[in-house]
A = this chain, B = another copy of it.
Amino acid sequence: MKNNQWLLAARPKGEPTRENWKYNETEVGAPGPGEILVKVEYISLDPAMRGWMNDSKSYIEPVQLGEVMRAGAVGEVLESNDDKFSAGDKVYGSFGVQQYAVCSTQGVHKVDPDLAPLERYLGVLGMPGMTAYFGLLKTGLPEQGETVVVSGAAGAVGGVVGQIAKIKGCRVVGIAGGQQKCDYLTRELGFDAVVDYKNEDVKKALRAACPDGVDVYFDNVGGDILDAVLTQINLRARIVICGAISQYNNTSAVKGPSNYLSLLVNRARMEGIVVFDNVKHYGEAAREMAGWIGQGKLKAKEHVVEGIDTFPDTLMMLFRGENFGKLVLKVNHE
């Protein structure tokens, strides 16, 4: 059995290009003691992958040159040398950008294909959903009646943040690019207002959308949008730093938030989050979110692109704001 996979061939300077990747074909090996063989079906494409390509200290080790690119994924167990898994099980794990994975079962867990389509376990029922849930509720600490703003609002994390904030009784304002995404946020996800950063002056539009100022800002993008929101925050506002996709491909220094002294004037807080810190509480969160999905209060949207061979290009959709919902790569095995 052939296994097509993408290896990290060179560390990018700025935007990743085709030259940073090597498309490799190997034979699928047999799982060793305690290992499983997984047929990968959907691969999660995430902004964080850009960081893993750098050779620098972060919350997780960099991917080494020549290694299969790290990625969360869902698939089917074909062979198992671990009693907890059987052939036919659908599983989530860090299987990498490849068609088949032979790996230990550490961090692997079963998912229920009858409860939700498999790709959803990479989105609202996976890391992005958990990131939104814990980042908003544990760090953003929204209270009923407060105004919550989220950037990357039509992305995998942002859409969930906004919907949970609505469930908690907040006024919710999304920042997204383009009329289609903005319409989706207000019409489908129930956002109270939107700012189209591609077609509006963000600061001015924010002021109109947030007549009572901003109490919680969940930031996925950084850069000028973070700076614009900082001018509108209220006393004791909470800014959740989840990501900064606008800055990940910079070749010069990251743009720091020039308006950070607004934190002082407003006695406000800016705090970083990493979803893995909440791993012990994923279960409770998943149950609560499943309940909301069942009640129609939490909707999911995946953006599925087919073909593992498209990986380098498809990944770049994230940085161009071209994905609409959780971006996943569907792996074909023919």
Chain A residues in the interface with B (C-beta under 8 A): 57-59, 222, 227, 241-244, 247, 253-274, 277
Contact = CB atoms under 8 A, between A and B. Distances in A.
One complex includes copies of this chain to the number of: 2
Contacts of A222: 261
Given A267-B273, A267-B274, A253 B258 contact: yes
Interface of A is mostly: loop
A270 B269 CA distance: 6
A254 B264 contact: no
A265 B277 CA distance: 11
A271 B272 contact: no
B265 A271 contact: no
A261 B273 contact: no
B260 A256 contact: yes
A264 B277 contact: no
A273 B268 CA distance: 8
A271 B268 CA distance: 6
A270 B274 contact: no
Q: 7 nearest interchain CB pairs?
A: A256-B256, A264-B272, A263-B272, A256-B258, A269-B271, A256-B257, A253-B258
